[in-house]
C-alpha cells in the first residue's frame, strides 16, 4: 500500500498551507469574533482554483483529484474552519452534483462560473422539521405547463445568505408508497426565493448560514437537475462526497489544535520544566497525534475510492464519523493542555473546540453515519 502523495498533490498542499498561513491565519480570530463573511479570502481561494478543485478545467475547475481537495480542505480549515466549510459547500455540495447530474447547459451557464469562484453555490436539503430523516421533507414542487412551482423552507443553509445559486430538493410526487423528490437549481433573485438573516451559532461564525424560503417560486423545466423523481439519490450521492470534505475540515481543526498544543507545551513551564516534559502532557499529545493520523488515513481512503469511481458511501461515513469525533476529542485535550489560557478567547484552542463540534452534526450527524455504516456492514 502506497501512502506517498504525488508531486502534484504535495505542491497543491504546500500552496494551500502557505496561502493559509499568510492570508487566512492572521485574520481567523478577527473574522470569528466579528462573525464577518471573509469575502477577500474567498476571492483569493477562487484565484487559486480552490472553489472548484475536482471539476474539469473546461467547466471552470482546477481539474485535480479528490485527495488534493482533501489536502487543501485540511490546510484551509487548520487556519480557519469557517473558510473551510464555505469552500467545501461550494466544491462538494454544489459543483460536484452539478458536474455529475447537470445538463450541458447547466454546466456551461452555472457550474463554470461557480467552479471558477466568480459565483457561489449552496445546498438546500435540511428543513425546520426534517434533518436526519431527510426524505420526509415538506417542501413541494408542483408541475405546471412550462415548469415547476416550489413552496417550502430550508434551514441551516451554509453560504445561503451570499450564494448566487441554490441546489434545492423538493417532493414532486406523494402519490405512491414512497415519496419522490427532485433536485432544482434556483438562482438568487428568482421571485419567491428569499433568505432570512444569518443564524447565530456556537462556532464557524464567519461561515454564514440561514433559513431560505420558497413561496410560489416558479422555475422552468430547465432548472431540474438529474431525473425527475430521482432527487433523493442525487442528495445522497452528493453527501457521499460532502462527508469527505467535512472529514477533511475536521482534520484541519485537529491539526491546528495539536500544533498549537505542541508549541505551548514546549514554552510553558511548571514544576521547573516545560510542561512537554511531563508524561501527563506527552500522553495527551500522543493520543492526539495517533487519532489524527488514523482519521487522515480513513479520509484519504474515501477520497481515493471516490477518484477511482468506486462506491464509497460507507468509507465516507467512516471517515466523517471518526474524523469529526476525533476533532472534538483533540480540541478538548488542547484546551486541557493550555489550562486557563485554553479557556480564554486570547488563544485559538477555544475556537477549535467550538468549530470542531459542528463537524459531528452537519452533512449527517454521527448517529446518521453509524446508521449508514451499519447498513453496509449488515449487507455484507
- Copy the grid coordinates of residue 131: 434533518
> Judged by CB, which is closer to ligand CAA: 125, or 285?
125
Q: Kindly write out the interface string for residues 161-180 of this chain, putting x where it contacts ligand CAA by CB under 6 A and - elsewhere.
A: --------------------
> Judged by CB, which is closer to ligand CAA: 177, or 340?
177
Contact with ligand CAA (CB under 6 A) among 96, 127, 240, 350: 240
**Cβ atoms of 356 and 201 closer than 8 Å:** no
Nearest approach in angstroms of CB 69 to ligand CAA is 15
Q: Kindly write out the interface string for residues 303-322 of this chain, putting x where it contacts ligand CAA by CB under 6 A and - elsewhere.
A: ----------x---------
**Cβ atoms of 20 and 75 closer than 8 Å:** yes
Contact with ligand CAA (CB under 6 A) among 79, 150, 239, 321: 239
SS (H, E, C) 32-83: HHHCCCCHHHHHHHHHCCCCCCCCCHHHCCCCCCHHHHHHHHHHHHHHCHHH
Per the DSSP assignment, residues forming a β-bridge with 269 are 274
Cα distance between residue 326 and residue 311, in whole Å:
24
Task: Show Cβ contacts of residue 134 under 8 Å, excluding neighbours closer than 6 positions.
Answer: 125, 126, 169, 232, 235
Quote the strand ranges of 130-235, DSSP E: 140-143, 147-158, 165-173, 180-187, 193-195, 209-220, 224-225
Task: Show Cβ contacts of residue 256 under 8 Å, excluding neighbours closer than 6 positions.
Answer: 77, 78, 79, 348, 352
Cα distance between residue 235 and residue 23, in whole Å:
33
From 39-47, 125-133, 281-289, 292-300, give the range in contact with ligand CAA by CB under 6 A.
125-133
Q: Strand, helix or coil at 237?
A: helix
Count of residues in contact with ligand CAA, rule CB under 6 A? 24
- With binding defined as CB under 6 A, does residue 125 bind ligand CAA? yes
- With binding defined as CB under 6 A, does residue 372 bind ligand CAA? yes
- With binding defined as CB under 6 A, does residue 359 bind ligand CAA? no
Contact with ligand CAA (CB under 6 A) among 46, 55, 166, 237: 237
Nearest approach in angstroms of CB 281 to ligand CAA is 34
Instruction: Indicate which residue of 7, 267, 363, 367 is catalytic.
Output: 363
- With binding defined as CB under 6 A, does residue 137 bind ligand CAA? no
- With binding defined as CB under 6 A, does residue 130 bind ligand CAA? no
Cα distance between residue 378 and residue 375, in whole Å:
5
Q: Cell 460536484 identifies what position?
A: 96
Contact with ligand CAA (CB under 6 A) among 21, 294, 310, 371: 371
Cα distance between residue 185 and residue 242, in whole Å:
18
350 assigned to active site: no
> Judged by CB, which is closer to ligand CAA: 46, or 134?
134
> Judged by CB, which is closer to ligand CAA: 89, or 250?
89
- With binding defined as CB under 6 A, does residue 134 bind ligand CAA? yes
Nearest approach in angstroms of CB 152 to ligand CAA is 15
Task: Show Cβ contacts of residue 46 under 8 Å, excluding neighbours closer than 6 positions.
Answer: 116, 117, 118
- With binding defined as CB under 6 A, does residue 158 bind ligand CAA? yes
User: 104-122: b or e for each residue (b if 16 or more CB lie within 10 Å)?
Assistant: eebbeebbbbbbbbebbbb
- With binding defined as CB under 6 A, does residue 116 bind ligand CAA? no
**Cβ atoms of 13 and 75 closer than 8 Å:** yes
Q: Kindly write out the interface string for residues 26-65 of this chain, putting x where it contacts ligand CAA by CB under 6 A and - elsewhere.
A: ----------------------------------------
- With binding defined as CB under 6 A, does residue 232 bind ligand CAA? yes
Q: Which residues bind ligand CAA (CB under 6 A)?
A: 85, 89, 93, 123, 125-126, 132, 134-135, 156, 158, 232-233, 236-237, 239-240, 313, 362-364, 368, 371-372
Instruction: Name the residues annotated as catalytic.
Output: 363
Amino acid at each position: 500500500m502506497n501512502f506517498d502523495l504525488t508531486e502534484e498533490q504535495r505542491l497543491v498542499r504546500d500552496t494551500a498551507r502557505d496561502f493559509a498561513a499568510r492570508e487566512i491565519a492572521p485574520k481567523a480570530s478577527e473574522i470569528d469574533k466579528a462573525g464577518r463573511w471573509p469575502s477577500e479570502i474567498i476571492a483569493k481561494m477562487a484565484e487559486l482554483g480552490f472553489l472548484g478543485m475536482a471539476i474539469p478545467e473546461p467547466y471552470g475547475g482546477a481539474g485535480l483529484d479528490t485527495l488534493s481537495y482533501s489536502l487543501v480542505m485540511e490546510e484551509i480549515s487548520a487556519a480557519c474552519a469557517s473558510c473551510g466549510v464555505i469552500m467545501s459547500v461550494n466544491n462538494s455540495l454544489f459543483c460536484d452534483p452539478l458536474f455529475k447530474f447537470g445538463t450541458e447547459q447547466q454546466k456551461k451557464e452555472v457550474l463554470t462560473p461557480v467552479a471558477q469562484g466568480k459565483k457561489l453555490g449552496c445546498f438546500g436539503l435540511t428543513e425546520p422539521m426534517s434533518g436526519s430523516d431527510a426524505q420526509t421533507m415538506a417542501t413541494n414542487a408542483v408541475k405546471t405547463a412550462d415548469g415547476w412551482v416550489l413552496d417550502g423552507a430550508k434551514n441551516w443553509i451554509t453560504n445561503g445568505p451570499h450564494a448566487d445559486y441554490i441546489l434545492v430538493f423538493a417532493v414532486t410526487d406523494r402519490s405512491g408508497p414512497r415519496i419522490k423528490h427532485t433536485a432544482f437549481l434556483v438562482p438568487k433573485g428568482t421571485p419567491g426565493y428569499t433568505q432570512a438573516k444569518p443564524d447565530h451559532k456556537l462556532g464557524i461564525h464567519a461561515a454564514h448560514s440561514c433559513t431560505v424560503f420558497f413561496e410560489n417560486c416558479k422555475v422552468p423545466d430547465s432548472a431540474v437537475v438529474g431525473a425527475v423523481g430521482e432527487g433523493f439519490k442525487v442528495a445522497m450521492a452528493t453527501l457521499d462526497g460532502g462527508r469527505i470534505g467535512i472529514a477533511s475540515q475536521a482534520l484541519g481543526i485537529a491539526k491546528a489544535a495539536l500544533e498549537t498544543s505542541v508549541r505551548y507545551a514546549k514554552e510553558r513551564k511548571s514544576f521547573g520544566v516545560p510542561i512537554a516534559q511531563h508524561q501527563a502532557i506527552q500522553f495527551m499529545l500522543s493520543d492526539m497525534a495517533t487519532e489524527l493520523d488514523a482519521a487522515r488515513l480513513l479520509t484519504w481512503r474515501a477520497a481515493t475510492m471516490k477518484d477511482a469511481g468506486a462506491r464509497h458511501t460507507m468509507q465516507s461515513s467512516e471517515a466523517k464519523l471518526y474524523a469529526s469525533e476525533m476533532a472534538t476529542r483533540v480540541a478538548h485535550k488542547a484546551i486541557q493542555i493550555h489550562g486557563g489560557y485554553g479557556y480564554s478567547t486570547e488563544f485559538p484552542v477555544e475556537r477549535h473546540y467550538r468549530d470542531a463540534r459542528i463537524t459531528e452534526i452537519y452533512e449527517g450527524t454521527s448517529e446518521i453515519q453509524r446508521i449508514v455504516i451499519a447498513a453496509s456492514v449488515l449487507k455484507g
